[in-house]
Amino acid sequence: MNAPNDALLALLRSRYGERWSIRRTEHLWIATALDRDADHAPTLIEPDVKRLVQQMEDPPARAGGRSPRPGSPTNSSKSATASTGRISRPVRRPSPRGR
């Protein structure tokens, strides 16, 4: 990383640091939402810093909806995987005609 990018990273962190954790690689800018329950995309990855800023200002929707976290009110104990971590299958009973 060079000095202009370090300064730009510091500027972005000072402006958006309350909502996003911002970092960069040699070719990508990455912002991760600090609010795990946000209704927008949790992570933004862009090669162009201008596009990253646009997305931080107006984040895209979360892909695939939210998945419930263990212990959250939306994680019902009636779900097929709640107690065992496995999907339950219906029990097959022999037909009365087969006896």
pLDDT in tens, 25-73: 999 999 999 999 999 999 999 999 999 999 999 999 988 766 656 665 5
pLDDT tier for residue 86 given thresholds of 50, 70 and 90: low
Tell me, yes or no, if the pTM score tops 0.75: no
Residue in the block written with tokens 């104990």 = 77
Q: Per 3-state DSSP, what percentage of the chain is helix, strand, and coil (rounded to 5)?
A: 25, 15, 60
In sequence order, which residues have a C-beta less than 8 Å from that of residue 5 and are 6 or more positions away?
24
| Of residues 6, 64, 53, 1, the one with CA closest to residue 31 | 53
What is the CA angle 12-17-22, rounded to 5? 60
Question: Is the confidence at residue 87, as pLDDT, over 90?
Answer: no
Give the β-pairing of 20-24 and 29-33: antiparallel
